[in-house]
Amino acid sequence: MGTLADHIEAYIKQMLRENQGRAIELSRAQLADVFACVPSQINYVLATRFSLERGYIVESRRGGGGYIRIGRVQVKDVRQDALELLGQIGRRLTEREMDDLLARLTDFRVINRREAQLMRGIVQQETTGVEEGKDVLRASLIRAMLLLIMEQRA
């Protein structure tokens, strides 16, 4: 069924698709009315699901004529962007960074939702019993799986 945040995220992403990837302008108050929630819930979704790390640019202006403008980071070559993201995976990768990376790769259709879920599940299983070095192991596993997927699609 999904959480309220999931529904808000899906709604905004649908609006972006309908606008063919061009930036959209929304009202925080109107979105809050649509979902019968407080505006801070909208802020939470924007901060966690539409960050630069996930491939979005969010501009916001509060007040009477306030708006939220959401756009996607423009990528000319998806494969090249994916390789750059791979190169940015450092020696360590937190769980939050992994989720952001997988969300961005899914949004840009480098990997599909099932692959992202499998990767997340494998990493969680392999890091569960590890006391020290979870972030190092996580980075290594994600890098290896992404390289394998990209090699198979080349």
Domain with CATH 3.30.56.130 in the chain: 4-72
User: CA–CA separation, 66 vs 33, rounded Å?
Assistant: 15
- pLDDT at residue 154 in the model: 65
- pLDDT at residue 114 in the model: 94
Least confident of 31-35, 72-76, 137-141: 72-76
User: CA–CA separation, 149 vs 102, rounded Å?
Assistant: 13
**What CATH topology corresponds to 4-72?**
Phenylalanyl-tRNA Synthetase; Chain B, domain 1 (3.30.56)
User: CA–CA separation, 96 vs 142, rounded Å?
Assistant: 13
**CATH architecture assigned to 78-153:** Orthogonal Bundle (1.10)
What does the block give as tokens for 7? 């529904």
- pLDDT at residue 147 in the model: 83
Q: Is the pLDDT of residue 94 over 80?
A: yes
Rounded mean pLDDT of 82-100? 82
pTM here?
A: 0.61
pLDDT tier, 63 (very low <50, low <70, confident <90, very high otherwise): low
Mean pLDDT across the chain: 85
Domain with CATH 1.10.1200 in the chain: 78-153
